[in-house]
Amino acid sequence: MTDVAILYFSGYGHTVKQAEALEVGASSIQGTKVDVLRIDENGDLPDVGWDKLKDAKAIVFGSPTYMGGPAWQLKRVADASSKPWFSQEWKNKIAGGFTTSITTNGDKASTISYFVTLAMQHSMVWAGTAVMPANAKANGPDDAGWTGGMTGALAIAPSDASPEEGAAKGDMETARLYGARIAEMAMKLN
Amino acid sequence: MTDVAILYFSGYGHTVKQAEALEVGASSIQGTKVDVLRIDENGDLPDVGWDKLKDAKAIVFGSPTYMGGPAWQLKRVADASSKPWFSQEWKNKIAGGFTTSITTNGDKASTISYFVTLAMQHSMVWAGTAVMPANAKANGPDDAGWTGGMTGALAIAPSDASPEEGAAKGDMETARLYGARIAEMAMKLN
Amino acid sequence: MTDVAILYFSGYGHTVKQAEALEVGASSIQGTKVDVLRIDENGDLPDVGWDKLKDAKAIVFGSPTYMGGPAWQLKRVADASSKPWFSQEWKNKIAGGFTTSITTNGDKASTISYFVTLAMQHSMVWAGTAVMPANAKANGPDDAGWTGGMTGALAIAPSDASPEEGAAKGDMETARLYGARIAEMAMKLN
Amino acid sequence: MTDVAILYFSGYGHTVKQAEALEVGASSIQGTKVDVLRIDENGDLPDVGWDKLKDAKAIVFGSPTYMGGPAWQLKRVADASSKPWFSQEWKNKIAGGFTTSITTNGDKASTISYFVTLAMQHSMVWAGTAVMPANAKANGPDDAGWTGGMTGALAIAPSDASPEEGAAKGDMETARLYGARIAEMAMKLN
């Protein structure tokens, strides 16, 4: 039985870090079973993945932001979700989203906005991060909420940073807090 | 004690119709108290309105789409909501949105998208209409879901239609169903 | 030498109709050479296609709206455009976009909004349809601008309509007018 | 005779800095006359302002991002622009946009996206910054493009920074480069 499913794609490993932090957060809520479903390079998701999505109480969508939106591999799975959409299998599940991109702002908001639209087609219920922005002069990448944007979890990984270097402490903490929130919401609503 | 607050602006009376249908729907859920808060021409909301928003378990935002977004009067109230935002008074309330515009598509999606963003800043939880689109050849304005768009309730009121003429049967039914869904979600989550 | 490139994907043939109307419109501007580049089922574009995009003075992006955004095949080409992006090969070209979906509103705006974001990453210059909405009671699907939405060309093809049945007269006329506008703008700016 | 009109609102003075940098950039293009039109606290724009907008070859919209969108004062002017919209007075003018917010990402993209939608209703032609992102590990707030987002000019001013402190060197340079680009585009297209 899956409670929280983290459905994501990662091209170079940076988004993996965010997914891991979300997993830690969701797993920290007692009694929550988390399943991490990584979409492969061809945009495929095995049947067992679809079964887990059907069972989950919450689905969190994740992808790097490539050329201003989610990677095509993620979109391929989203397009294939027209089947569960048709019978509204995901109705009333909690939804959330996360994205990593190399530029400070970049177009992360475009990716998250797409996830909201997708979730609404599935009649899911969207929960944002609830992590308040850390936006004083003294704040920096080590602080949760420094990257900001409360609709989903955002992370900045510079273009020449390895996944380890790119994973800013604050972004990872935001993802962890978000994972916990999603798990709590999934319990409350179901 | 307010359960569902419908916070909206209407310029010419068409959006009133949508608000009324939402109210009927929300009130149909047993034990739900609905408060309708109409923002005035100057974008003011009396103090008692802010108190009711604080108490509500759900807030539904509504506005005509003017020049591609919510009316400035609605935005003025949204800007003033930086006060409850600061202390996150609206955290975990259910949020929803609705809009009427004169053109078939127009930019209704832009208005609804803004409401989602606003709700996420407040750490609210967004529920869409869950009304499936009625998109076969035989469907028309009399059918719920014909206008489509599941993130919020949409309505089309032609430029030369009175509020009564403009209120298509299907759009009103969509709003009614949405009102009921919001009330149910508010109960579940709180 | 390409002047206007129409780069699009179509799953079932409805978006083909829009592309054809755009082509007719663009070709109607004297001295304009139009190239239509249809992305295949695997999201591939042959090398010659990339060359034509490089040469073009304008690129119009088109896709059905599937699950709230452009089809993954279109997104795959967009992701692959990171190569011309890197050297800003498409800088200052005119950009536009079009989409067909089965629902009246659906999430067409989400697809068009993505195209704008993509175009801006390429430093292109975006031109909308400039077709005023036909939104009086007497208007209907036969009128250009009835579907509305001026950022790109929108079309509605009901879920059970063949491509021929689905191609509303007004939507096709909007696409034709848009094609002409794009061609004129491409001449002016280059 | 106005060539480039900068139409903006600023609440605390931070957005003024961005407007000034844009003005410097636009004025640097030989033969360009720039008019800066600052909207007042009540969302009013004097008649002479509307006349200048009518004359301009380009209009750049600017506002802080408040509660996830443009300030209501800017939206009030946008709503009032339904008059020039009706006769499409702004058709084919170049459009651009800029925003400052206190959070790194915040919802700057939402404000810029609204400006695009507004510009498209007016049948304007949108030009982004064409400033490539500075997203390597060595980059920081002093570099143009560090904040990123190519659809419009973005700036970050921490919540406790004065307008002078808040104006990061890189954001100001981005705005300056954007001003020059807008002026050049306005010449080319008209």
pLDDT per position as a tens digit, D137-156? 999 999 999 999 999 999 99
Question: Contact A116/B116, CB-based, under 8 Å?
Answer: yes
Cβ-contact C79, A66 below 8 angstroms: yes
Contact B117 D69 (CB under 8 A): yes
C102 contact residues in B (CB cutoff 8 A):
133, 135
A149: closest chain D residue by CA: D106
With 80 as the cut, is the pLDDT of residue C2 above it?
Answer: no
* B78 contacts D72? CB cut-off 8 A: yes
Q: Tell me the per-residue pLDDT of A148-179, one tens digit each, with 9 for 90 and over.
A: 999 999 999 999 999 999 999 999 999 999 99
Nearest to B135 among C136, C146, C158 (CB): C158
**What residues of chain A lie within 8 A of the CB of B120, using their CB?**
126, 128, 150-151
Contact (CB<8Å) B125/A125:
yes
The band of C186, judged by pLDDT with boundaries at 50, 70 and 90, is: very high
* Short-list B34, B37, B69, B10, CA closest to B176: B34
Q: Which pLDDT band, with edges at 50, 70 and 90, does A2 fall under? A: confident
pLDDT of residue C190: 77
Q: Could you read off the pLDDT of B165-190 as tens digits, one per residue?
A: 999 999 999 999 999 999 999 999 87
Chain A partners of B128 at a C-beta cutoff of 8 Å?
120, 123
Select from D71, D73, D114 the Cβ nearest to the Cβ of B69: D114
Residue C1 pLDDT greater than 80, yes or no: no
Provide the β-strand partners of residue B35.
B5
Residues of C whose CB is below 8 A from B97: none
What per-residue confidence (pLDDT) applies to A20?
Answer: 98
Q: Which two tokens stand for residue B73?
A: 């009067």
Q: Which of A72, A114, A117 sits opposite C79 (nearest CB)?
A: A72
Distance from CA of A162 to the nearest CA of B (A): 31
- Does C113 sit within 8 Å of A68, measured CB to CB? no
Rounded to whole angstroms, the Cα distance separating B49 from B55 reads 10
- Chain B residue nearest residue D86, CA to CA: B67
Map out the domains of chain C as residue ranges: 2-189
ipTM entry = 0.97
Q: Residue C137 — φ and ψ, nearest 5°?
A: -55, -35
Could you tell me the pLDDT band of residue A190, with boundaries at 50, 70 and 90? Answer: confident
Burial B38-65 (b: 16+ CB within 10 A, else e): bbeeebebeeebbebbeebbbbbbbbbb
Measured between alpha carbons, how far is C24 from C175 in angstroms, rounded to an integer?
9
Mean pLDDT of all residues belonging to chain A: 97
Task: Tell if the CB–CB gap between D127 and C125 is shorter than 8 Å.
Answer: yes
What are the chain A neighbours of D128 within 8 Å (beta carbons)? none
* A103-118 pLDDT per residue, tens: 999 999 999 999 999 9
* Superfamily for the C2-189 domain: Flavodoxin domain (3.40.50.360)
Average pLDDT over residues C156-162: 96
* pLDDT surpasses 80 at C141: yes
Compute the average pLDDT of residues B71-96: 98
Compare CB distances from D121 to C92, C123, C150 and report the shortest one's residue: C150
Averaged confidence pLDDT in chain D: 97
> What is d(CA D20, CA D23) in angstroms, rounded to the nearest whole number?
5
Q: Model confidence at B31, in pLDDT bands (50, 70, 90)?
A: very high
Phi, then psi, of D99 in degrees rounded to 5:
-150, 150
Q: Quick one: pLDDT at residue B57? A: 97
B→C contacts (Cβ < 8 Å), by residue, are 102-110, 133, 135-137, 139, 146-149, 151, 154, 158-161, 165
Instruction: Determine the distance in angstroms separating the CA of A12 from the nearest CA of chain C, rounded to an integer.
Output: 14
Q: Do B120 and A128 touch (CB under 8 A)?
A: yes
Q: What is the pLDDT of residue C16?
A: 97
Record: contact D69-B67, CB cut-off 8 A: no
Indicate whether D2 pLDDT > 90.
no
What are the angstrom distances between the C-alpha of C79 and each of A69, A101, C125, D146? Answer: 9, 13, 19, 22
| Contact of C112 with C152, CB cutoff 8 Å | yes
A51 with A87: CB under 8 angstroms?
Answer: no
Band (pLDDT 50/70/90 cuts) for residue D157 is very high
Across the range D43-59, mean pLDDT stands at 96
The pLDDT tens digits of the residues spanning C23-50 come to 999 999 999 999 999 999 999 999 999 9
pLDDT given at position D150: 98
Decide if D104 and A109 are in contact by the 8 Å CB cutoff: no
**What is the predicted pLDDT for the residue at C76?**
98
Number of H helices, E strands in chain B: 7, 7
Distance CA B122, CA B97 (A): 14
Instruction: Look at D158 and A137 and tell me if their CB atoms are within 8 Å.
Output: yes
Spatial distance between the Cα atoms of B90 and B119, rounded to a whole number of angstroms:
9
Q: Whole-angstrom Cα distance, residue A88 to residue D20? A: 52
Question: Percentage of chain D with pLDDT > 90?
Answer: 97
Candidates D12, D101, D105: best to mutate against A (most CBs of A within 10 A) is D105
Nearest Cα residue in chain A from B149: A121
How does residue D6 score in pLDDT terms, banded at 50, 70 and 90?
Answer: very high
Q: Give me the pLDDT at residue B2, please.
A: 75
Mean pLDDT of A17-31: 97
Q: Residue B1: is its pLDDT beyond 80?
A: no
Q: Quick one: pLDDT band at residue B125, thresholds 50, 70, 90?
A: very high
> SS3 for B140-186, per residue?
CCCCCCCCCCCCCEEEECCCCCCHHHHCCHHHHHHHHHHHHHHHHHH
Q: What is the average pLDDT score of chain C?
A: 97
Question: A121 and C68: CB-CB below 8 Å?
Answer: yes
Global pTM reads: 0.98
Mean pLDDT along residues D166-170:
95
Q: Name the residue among D123, D128, D132 with its Cβ closest to that of C128.
A: D123
Counting residues of chain B whose pLDDT is more than 70, the rounded percentage is 99
pLDDT of B48 strictly over 80? yes
Q: Give the one of D68, D72, D120 whose C-beta lies nearest to B76's C-beta.
A: D72
At residue D141, the 3 state secondary structure works out as coil
- Give me the total of CB pairs closer than 8 Å, taking one residue from chain B and one from chain C: 77
pLDDT at B190 (0 to 100):
77
